[in-house]
Amino acid sequence: MKLIYSFREGAANMKDLLGGKGANLAEMTKLSLPVPQGFTITTETCNLFLKNGDYPEDFGDQLREKLHELEDASGKQLGSIGNPLLVSVRSGARVSMPGMMDTVLNLGLNDETVKGLISQTEDERFCYDAYRRFVQMFGDVVLGVDHDKFEEALESLKEKRGVKLDTELKAEDLKELVSTFKKIISAETGGEFPEQPALQLKLAIEAVFKSWNNKRARTYRNLNGIPHDIGTAVNIQSMVFGNMGETSGTGVAFTRCPSTGAKIFYGEYLMNAQGEDVVAGIRTPEPIDELEKRMPEIYGQLFEIKNILEQHYKDMQDLEFTIEKGKLFILQTRNGKRTARSAVRISVAMVAEGLITKEEALMRINPEVLNQLLHPSIDPKAPLKVLTRGLPASPGAATGKAVFTPDDAVQMVEDGEKAILVRKETSPEDIHGMHAAEGILTSTGGNTSHAAVVCRGMGKPCVAGASGVIVNGKAKKFIVGDLTIKEGDLITLNGTTGELILGEVPMVEPKLEDEFGHLMQWADEIRKLHIRTNADTPEDAEVARHFGAEGIGLCRTEHMFFEDDRIPLMREMIISKDNPQARKRALSKLLPVQRKDFIAIFEAMNGFPVTIRLLDPPLHEFLPDPSDTKKTAMLAGELGMTYEEVRDIIENLHEVNPMLGHRGCRLGITYPEIYEMQVRAILEAGIECHNKGINVKPEIEVPLVSDVEELKTVKKMISKVADELGEEIKFKYKVGTMVELPRACLTADKIAKEAEFLSFGTNDLTQTTYGLSRDDGGKFLQLYMENGIMPEDPTVTIDRDGVGALMRTCVSLARKEKENIEIGICGEHGGDPRSVEFCHEIGLDYVSCSPYRVPIARLAAAQAVIKERRNIAELP
């Protein structure tokens, strides 16, 4: 088994085996670019080592062989006093995990070889600096000695010498430091620093392998959905030095601008410096253009190489180079990270340049990054004081003054200020405050919590479940770490990253360029899924149409009831629960209000279907909390009832598990007047719009159906109302159901017999399939994700094994019964790219998502088609 490949033996398409860095070093070698030579130990070796706790049998032989090859090529030898070979040892997995694993530089130095290096370079200070850096790095990374111990020794020496900068230390000082560092290592590990370069190499490789499983690497993989079992390769490469004087230097460059996407050579470099100096930001690097003036030949060579690389890889490249005594070396190339704007512009430009196809352009863009184009974002150059991190529940960024009640939010906005609403968790009662606020911060609740869902719909940033924040609503303050934030203090939310930031921060406003339009058009040409939106108001519907929504997949009628002028009527209706007369009276007042809402929505969605869900939440959500005696008393006053009467009714509506309680069609069946009113409002609105020449396509959706008999019962109510309106209904409408319970999936054939459409409510379906309440899951989900028990949050991406299996069953049963039944999805997953791909795979007709995610869904739907084509093309 071949465990090690020299750079000459590899190629770019061997990433799985050689890692991204190794494969690219090999590819550049093939392109005859000036790459310091070396070899790559395969990811398979890593996996075997981690599994067995030891190297494969003939690893030592292979390593010796490759080392000899490298020594022969360079004319240097590892451990040679005369002409010592120094190497770097770097990790490099299939997927880039920047900074997550360990690196050792200058390996091969010891008290003897350093002398050889001095005689070669004639620069004692440089050599001892390299040596002390190596001992420090080896001590930290390989031997596990606390990094700070070395820093303390360095600081203490600088103090002793009365200097401020590392560079002010002399060769002698650095030599002393090497000795001090070795003493620290002895004291901390109880063993000696290994002087033999061969042993250094063996230990360093081992340390890189082991770093694959360190905590930050595991966390990174969990967060980025990278499997834990692919392992890392290790690259052993001859050292080149950018810090060997004024004809040496090092830099980083991009073949196009990673920020704007402009077709310019973009980069920075530092003369007489090492790569880490550029990255660490201690000295300010110069723009790459300056290099042209300073070293025109080198610049010309670099410019040519960047063109070769971009043409070769057909993508914007991020390259690292070093100039050692006037000689250019390329240390690394990879596809460059870029902003959303840059990604879109580069992709579209490369199609125009004939470098890539439209399909390739579409595949280049991670749909999620479009969020950056649609929401304000924090200026990437701004310094931030991040206080804590919660869930990135709704993207975008906002600054405002902290407020703790919805009323205060409204007041603050009326006073002309911007507000950030801070709550433990939000409820439908807070909706006016959420409307007024710029963004929402909650200390509990997950990605599908009320705050998260509502904010995404509104396009406002939300940081949810920030468990580091302790909210004291009564005292109008919150505590985070040792800091107390009071009402009126400025804070900033980054809903894209989940960060809570102290104070005000400069923002970048989104701008949609032409390229964005091109890309979306290409996506629309390719995708098969229709994209609808979840919108409860005419305003939301307008926004979604602007983003390309082809209808409404979910209009939640209850949100209409929470508005200030409606909630009293709703409460009157609920409180008169055992008095059908009074209930009907209250409902008759709600009827024109709902009708008006629907008219406006039909107008906004002229020609497109509008799926309207009948009342879903349990009634107690519309009432004050009974422990809130003031509000309860106020309500009693409004309704002309005693406090006790109202309190008793509210308490009677209390449920142990409201999620599994008296809601959805169960409500509609027990209180038929409510659904009858809603159906009448829908149909009357349809009539009015139709008569005005608007093309209305209502789809009446029955929620929480667990058995076809429930659907039948509600259909009878709908028919009754429709019969009353009779001839006036001159448009077609559909009646269907939301599929949000496992039982609905399992009996979908029976349900399909009665339904004209099905729409997956995957929020609730996920909750019931997992037995997991989105409101309560925060207490353990975080730990589950960190420990890999749940590699990803099923409330964000559809769980294919469980929820997905039920969805497949549903689609197959339903289509067997009724081949062309319309099936969509309206849960939050409808805007998640990987879930959109799954929906395409199982043959849904549409996905529906919040307005701001419509472009993301359009792109994801196109990518799903392309991936499918590629998979089919790959079949034998």
One DSSP character per residue, 591-654 reads HHHHHHHHHHHHHHTTTSEEEEE---S-GGGGS--TT-HHHHHHHHHHHT--HHHHHHHHHHH-
Q: Is 13 exposed, middle or buried (0-12, 13-18, 19+ CB in 10 A)?
A: exposed
Residues 281, 640, 771, 876: which binds a copy of itself (CB under 8 A)?
Answer: 771
Residues 518, 770, 815, 842: which binds a copy of itself (CB under 8 A)?
Answer: 770
| Of residues 183 and 780, the one with the C-beta less far from a copy of itself | 780
Q: Is 780 in the site for a copy of itself (CB under 8 A)?
A: yes
Query: Would you tell me the crossing angle of helices 567-575 and 580-604 to the nearest 10 degrees?
Result: 150
Asked if 450 is an active-site residue, the reply is yes
Q: How far is the CB of 445 from a copy of itself (least distance, A)?
A: 9
Name the β-bridge partners of 376.
none
Q: Is 502 in the site for a copy of itself (CB under 8 A)?
A: no
Per annotation, catalytic residue among 665, 689, 745, 826: 826
Q: Is 546 in the site for a copy of itself (CB under 8 A)?
A: no
Q: Is 805 in the site for a copy of itself (CB under 8 A)?
A: yes
| Of residues 537 and 769, the one with the C-beta less far from a copy of itself | 769
Q: How far is the CB of 570 from a copy of itself (least distance, A)?
A: 19
Q: How big is the chain, counted in residues?
A: 876
Residue with tokens 């790095």: 137
Per annotation, catalytic residue among 375, 450, 530, 620: 450
Q: Is 35 exposed, middle or buried (0-12, 13-18, 19+ CB in 10 A)?
A: buried
Residue-wise over 399-426: b if at least 16 C-beta within 10 A, else e? bbbbbbbbebbbebbeeeebbbbbbebb
Q: Is 773 in the site for a copy of itself (CB under 8 A)?
A: yes
Q: Is 657 in the site for a copy of itself (CB under 8 A)?
A: yes
Q: How many residues bind a copy of itself (CB under 8 A)?
A: 50
Q: Is 579 in the site for a copy of itself (CB under 8 A)?
A: no
Q: Is 769 in the site for a copy of itself (CB under 8 A)?
A: yes
**H helix intervals, 142-266:** 147-161, 171-189, 197-211, 215-224
Q: How far is the CB of 713 from a copy of itself (least distance, A)?
A: 6
Alpha carbon distances (Å) from 299 to 32, 173, 251, 278, 305: 18, 36, 12, 18, 10
| Of residues 659 and 729, the one with the C-beta less far from a copy of itself | 659
Tokens of 644: 């006790």
Alpha carbon distances (Å) from 876 to 755, 784, 867, 872: 40, 39, 16, 9
- Is residue 391 within a helix (H) or strand (E), and if so which, with residue range? strand 391-394
Q: Are 290 and 270 in contact (CB under 8 A)?
A: no
CA angle (313 as vertex; 311, 318 as ends), nearest 5: 100
Q: Is 397 in the site for a copy of itself (CB under 8 A)?
A: no
Q: How far is the CB of 618 from a copy of itself (least distance, A)?
A: 9
Q: Are 813 and 752 in contact (CB under 8 A)?
A: yes
Q: Is 143 in the site for a copy of itself (CB under 8 A)?
A: no
Residues 396, 777, 830, 833: which binds a copy of itself (CB under 8 A)?
Answer: 777
Residues 56, 510, 568, 661: which binds a copy of itself (CB under 8 A)?
Answer: 661
Q: How far is the CB of 671 from a copy of itself (least distance, A)?
A: 10
Rounded distance between C-alpha atoms, residue 20 and residue 333, angstroms: 9
Q: How far is the CB of 745 from a copy of itself (least distance, A)?
A: 9
| Of residues 769 and 850, the one with the C-beta less far from a copy of itself | 769
| Of residues 120 and 427, the one with the C-beta less far from a copy of itself | 427
How many other C-beta atoms are found inside a 10 Å radius of the C-beta of residue 665? Answer: 24
Q: Is 754 in the site for a copy of itself (CB under 8 A)?
A: no
Q: Is 577 in the site for a copy of itself (CB under 8 A)?
A: no
Count Cα atoms within 13 angstroms, Cβ side, for 589: 15
Which of these, 126, 111, 140, lies nearest to 174 by C-alpha position?
A: 126
Q: Is 710 in the site for a copy of itself (CB under 8 A)?
A: yes
Q: How far is the CB of 663 from a copy of itself (least distance, A)?
A: 9
Residues 746, 753, 792, 867: which binds a copy of itself (CB under 8 A)?
Answer: 746
Asked if 665 is an active-site residue, the reply is no
Q: Is 747 in the site for a copy of itself (CB under 8 A)?
A: yes
Q: How far is the CB of 591 from a copy of itself (least distance, A)?
A: 24
Q: Per-residue string for binding with a copy of itself, 620-649, x by CB under 8 A?
A: -------x----------------------
Binding part of the chain for a copy of itself, among 24-32, 121-129, 531-539, 769-777 by CB under 8 A, reads 769-777
Q: How far is the CB of 854 from a copy of itself (least distance, A)?
A: 29
Which of these, 741, 861, 853, 868, lies nearest to 807 by C-alpha position?
A: 741
Q: How far is the CB of 379 from a copy of itself (least distance, A)?
A: 37
Q: Which of residues 223-252 bind a copy of itself (CB under 8 A)?
A: none
Name the β-bridge partners of 88.
237
Residue-wise over 441-476: b if at least 16 C-beta within 10 A, else e? bbbbbbbbbbbbbbbbbbbbbbbbbbeebebeeeeb
Name the β-bridge partners of 392.
463
Q: Which residues carry out catalysis? A: 450, 826
Contacting residues toward a copy of itself, per CB under 8 A: 627, 655-662, 666, 669-670, 704, 706-707, 709-710, 713, 740-743, 746-747, 750, 764, 767-773, 775-777, 779-780, 783-784, 787-790, 799, 801-803, 805-806
